[in-house]
Structure 1
């Protein structure tokens, strides 16, 4: 058989698809919609690397941190301060800017800097500030909006960001929150590292395999829409002399036509989704439409692979169908499916993954080809095992009500069709269970204990150096939602001039008696007292330096270099105290001073921190606290405490996985709905006949529900088994003890069932319309 004959037969099938009247057009349309949804998601997937690269480049281009030596003021320098904040759980990127000359570097996305008292904002922030939801944030940003930030200065369409004009930032330079820069991007002392450890790389590989496999399964199912009616039409070709192979190639041509139209639909869906992407945010991630540009090579691969898959799937599906001139031998009892070859796929997947069991992160990267191949074989094994399981189970089902019997008999006659409908959801659930197990198993390695005592304080406000911290306690205490405010100031003491480099250092802490009791236990305390706290981590250094009459030197480096020498003499009449664990989880020995014992020149050098006990029952308590902090100083940093914190890379992968899972679930629901409607359309005359003979519509509706419920129940059971197996293997690969998060397993299974039930409910109105005697009319 030459290529010319193949092309002629496939072309004939394409013509039949488009010239077959209403029936042919409906089948092409259904196939195109199903394939188009899958193609759209594939195109989105191929665009993800580009979108991530653009986001990364945009973020790199606006970097404004420097840890190098202090720069002198010049015509090309800019003073910039980090004034980030958080509002209702969303990060707000803020910068205070003060150009020092006409050649000051311009931040990406800006045409000019705002004047003092003005700000330029991102479109999303402007929308929020103009709405009622942004009332409290508007109080925190007392600047007049003078413009918006361009796309080149933002990493996403929904990013909240602003640049505000400021004055006199020079004294605040500390090399951390405030700096003098001459350019944006990679600055002195900054480095960019994209390296990930092997376990996180494995996580990324598994995520892509798990999210894309259901898409491929749905595309394969979509090209078989209307298969039964198509096969009966093909019998007419045998009457005019077509042999079996030619007939199958013509059928593949019909599927090819639907897939080609599906490519067009998919492109349209992708372009529509691309525009929609600019107005939505998924799990905290947003993009601009221009970010979503599929890689040409990957897009070309999709354009070739989808039609080729349509042809191959159709030929494979027709291998057991005998098309004769007088009909299709499919209505007879089908041959029982064999199990042995269906077990080869999952067994092969386990065989590919087995060599990497116990590898962990200590033996280099995991082999990406073995990982992807093994995961794909295990997940595709679900699609091969499910038809056999459905057939074996429904063959044993019997007695029941009329609706049950109608459903069971239909499943016994077409168990393969029923299995195809739920294959995608089963694969998605299996992959989700495995991913949940892997995330749950390794998150402990990427989660560390902060040591903070969240029973004593729930928020912390760090004040810039030189801000008088003592009055802030009263201001925060008067803030709505604050139960208690504890303000402390601190600085380091050295045994010699810091310009020469200290040999030994100890901390000095200043606060009221009540505040100092958060750091140490004292028998008595009055304003003017000075204490030496021992029993902490650095008792030896405190014993050496904290002696009455000894001259110590205050740290005036301010984070960027040595300042003037600031000697301080340890006063007499030192009282003893015992260090206790502070709210931040540290037990530190040092010198403790009450306010009256602190000279004014020392007070100006202290860095303040306020620990806050928050009444969580008060609405927006955190936002009120942040507003108070902003009124005290725009650079005050209010942080919500947590007992643990996770790796940013791990969180980014987890966030991306959830965003992808949402897209896949949306595809599952849409594709299942199309598949369900196609099945109902093929049974329209049968349903109308049953109604004409007196069958109640409620009975038929219930039978359709059973026809969906039985396969999905079997599919979810199989998915749970395969998901647990794959999850266990992945955990062994990374060297983590086996454990099952049953709540996650049940939630994933419930999500899959909910999608199917929703689709079934949406298909009931069309079902009721089809259950009319008029459906028996034919031409």
Structure 2
């Protein structure tokens, strides 16, 4: 057949898509919106590389850490930077104090001049937060008045909380309390990041496949909107002389036109969403609109794949349909669906994944192509199995109230349409169950114990080399929400002022503080104790001989040459048994009360205050009070909240990406299901009007529509659970973790899917009630 004939038939189909009067435009609009929602999400996915790259570039451009151990001398082009990050109600606040040392000092990105002492530039989000009520403690914590805002180039997200403040007297603190001198901002190193381990790479692949598969299915479903009216139109074309092949090509042309309209809608939705993106923050992640620049190659792939998919899906759906001049044979009852070929896709997926079972992190990288196509085959297999399941189940249903019988009869006549409507949600639930099982299985591998006991201490204030830690502890002890505050300091000593030998730890604190570490009975200022854990090392034990001369803060342990403090150990050293619940777990040396240490050694101490909070005060309030009081007492202090476990940053990033992507996919699922439901109701307008005209109650018809949704979604979710558990089990075996089913998560994922369908059904009820009128039988 000539290309001209194909082009002419496709062009005729495209004209039919837009020239069918009001009904034709509504059908085209619904198809365009359905396809457009999917295209918008695909374009968002195509923009992910740009988002990650731009965020990385912004972060690298403002980096103010020294990448080499060499110290930079003060010059006309240097600036001293102090890190003063804090947290406000679980929101990170990035803080920097700046002290320029010359006219050519480098400016950080986002500001056009250095703030003077007592001034600060803040991000727009922080400026808005400071204007809101209830932020008095945050105002007290910040070091100056707001004189300007940080530009987009100095921020990685529109909702980032950050500030730059002017300061002085920072130079003497260089090398202590996160204070450094730099001569430029930005990471100029070309060191590549460490590659992901095999399991994390598998998680990334799974997230993309699981999130994008429902999108592709929704796009394929949307191009089939108006199928029954299209069939009647094709029958009329056959009546005026078109052959079967020409009718199919015209149908493909209609689908092609709808998909092109969907591309236009998708671009519009994407551009509107990009402008909205700047005002949205999900799971602590925010972006700027200009981050959303789809990769040209991926965008081109979407532009080609969507119309091609529309044509192929249409031709595939008509493969067993006989279009005759007086009707379509499919309306007289389809043949029974066969099961054997529908099982091929899931089996093929399992065969692809089987060779990688048991690899984990020790068996090399997983084959990304086998993983992607294997998971895709299993998930797409749901769309092949669900029509067969729905047909078999509804074919055996009988009896019941009128609403039930109406629903069942409708499903028996068009089970394929009902299955298509829930295909996407079933695939999404199956993928979510598999991902949840995989994440729960590997979570322990990326969650490590910190060795800290939050029941002993909830917060720690790291003072660095700040002087008078006991005085700061006293101020914190008076803070609202604090029940106990103890100060502990640490340094080290060795047998010589410089050399290569090992050092021994010194913990310094008053008797109350030391009792939080060890069991001691008699204690007074001036005492020195040997930790029970110190006797495991003979070399260290020798250095701790009473009366022995040692050097505190030796040069080779990080001290500065010439400031080493000579110390003669007391003639009597007490013995102290380490508590099982000690605040520190690394007590391998001496425990010293303050006056026992020589005065020259005190500048070498690194101090922390450990806080036990009052349970009578809400933890969030007490935490903010402590952070504010700590920064008032020691502006360069770091405040930490103790946690018993800590999760890998990369693992957490992937989890966050999953949650953000899942939120976008769920929004698409809800919107697409609503469009699909409205399209089906529109096609049944005359049938509903006929039933109302014959006296059928509105309540009965409404219940029948609810049953028509409930039955297939129940079957779809049951199938999704089976496939999801199967896929999740295989993935857990691949990552070499024990097979365990997290039933609460499985039930929550299933319930969430059902809730989306229920919400969509309820939202479609107003349209249903408008359609249930006798005047719907009127025709023009």
Q: TM-score range by the shorter chain?
A: over 0.9
Report Cα offsets for 1:582-640 as digits up to 9, x if no partner.
64551513222223334443333322111111235523211111111111112111111
**Which residue of 1 is the match for residue 699 of structure 2?**
698
- The answer as to whether partners of 1:506 and 1:541 remain within 8 angstroms in 2 is no
Q: In 2, distance between residues paired with 1:401 and 1:118?
A: 75
The Cα offsets for residues 346-404 of structure 1, whole Å up to 9 and x where unpaired, read as 11111111111122222321111111110111100010100100010000111211111
Aligned match of 1:571: 570
2:543 matched to 1:545?
Answer: yes
| Residue matched to 2:235 | 235
> Residue in 2 aligned with 1:349?
349
Partner of 2:593: 594
587-596 or 404-413, which deviates more: 587-596
Aligned equivalents of 1:139, 1:773: Cα separation in 2? 69
- Structure 2 match to 1:85: 86
Q: What residue in structure 2 maps to residue 716 of structure 1?
A: 717
Structure-2 change in CA distance of 1:569 and 1:732 (3 Å): same
Equivalences for 1:621-770 in 2 at 5 Å? 621-770=622-771
User: Is 1:388 aligned to 2:379, yes or no?
Assistant: no
- The offset of 1:255, in angstroms, is 1.2
- Distance across 2 between alignment mates of 1:133 and 1:215: 42
User: What is the alpha-carbon distance in structure 2 between the residues aligned to residue 170 and residue 568 of structure 1?
Assistant: 29
Change over 3 Å in CA distance of 1:638–1:556 after alignment to 2: farther
Contact 2:553/2:559, CA 8 A, preserved across alignment:
no
In structure 1, the residue matched to 2:184 is: 183
* CA distance in 1 between partners of 2:483 and 2:111 (Å): 42
Shift, 1:540, TM fit:
3.1
Asked if 1 retains the 8 angstrom alpha-carbon contact of 2:177 and 2:637, the reply is no
- Residues 244-643 of structure 1 correspond to what in structure 2 (within 5 A)? 244-497=244-497, 500-536=498-534, 538-555=536-553, 562=561, 564-581=563-580, 583-584=582-583, 586-616=585-615, 618-619=617-618, 620-643=621-644
Residues 768 and 40 (structure 1 numbering): CA distance in 2 closer, same or farther, change over 3 Å? same
SS in 1 for 2:501: coil
Shift of 1:224: 0.5
Aligned counterparts of 2:674 and 2:539: Cα–Cα separation in 1: 72
Cα pair 1:580 1:588 within 8 Å, conserved: no
SS of corresponding position for 1:366: coil
Q: Contact between 1:70 and 1:561, CA under 8 Å: does it hold in 2?
A: no
The Cα of 1:462 is off from its aligned counterpart by 0.6
Secondary structure at 1:553's aligned position in 2? strand
- In 2, Cα distance between the equivalents of 1:204 and 1:308? 27
Distance change in 2, residues 1:358/1:537 (3 Å): farther
Contact 2:496 2:554 (8 Å CA) reproduced? no
Counterpart of 2:168 in structure 1 is 167
| 8 A contact 2:176–2:465 mirrored in 1 | no
Consecutive unaligned residues of structure 2, counting only runs of 5 or more, are none
The size of the alignment, in residue pairs, is 776
When the two structures are superposed, what TM-score results if normalisation uses the length of structure 1? Answer: 0.97
Q: Which runs of 4+ in 1 moved over 6 A?
A: none
Asked if structure 2 preserves the Cα contact closer than 8 Å seen for 1:466 and 1:603, the reply is no
1:758 Cα shift? 0.6
What SS does structure 2 have at the residue aligned with 1:674?
A: helix
CA distance in 2, matches of 1:639, 1:667: 39
Moved more, 468-477 or 745-754: 468-477
Compare 190-199 and 726-735 and name the one that shifted more.
190-199
Q: C-alpha displacement at 1:420, in angstroms?
A: 0.6
User: Is contact 2:516-2:583 (8 Å) kept?
Assistant: no
- Secondary structure of 1:185's match? coil
Rounded to whole Å, the distance in 2 between the matches of 1:479 and 1:139 is 14
1:181-221 deviations in Å (ceiling 9; x for gaps): 11222378x95524111111111111111100000000000
Q: What is the match of residue 52 of structure 1?
A: 52
TM-superposition CA deviations, 1:743-766 (whole Å, max 9, x none) = 111111111111111101101111
* Shift in alpha-carbon separation, 1:702–1:562, aligned structure 2, 3 A: farther
Cα distance in 2 for residues equivalent to 1:258 and 1:162: 49
What secondary structure does 2:333 align onto?
coil
CA distance in 1: counterparts of 2:201 and 2:535, whole angstroms: 39
Query: Residues of 2 paired with 1:481 and 1:96: CA distance?
Result: 29
CA distance in 2, matches of 1:393, 1:704: 18
Give the C-alpha shift of residue 135 in structure 1.
Answer: 3.0
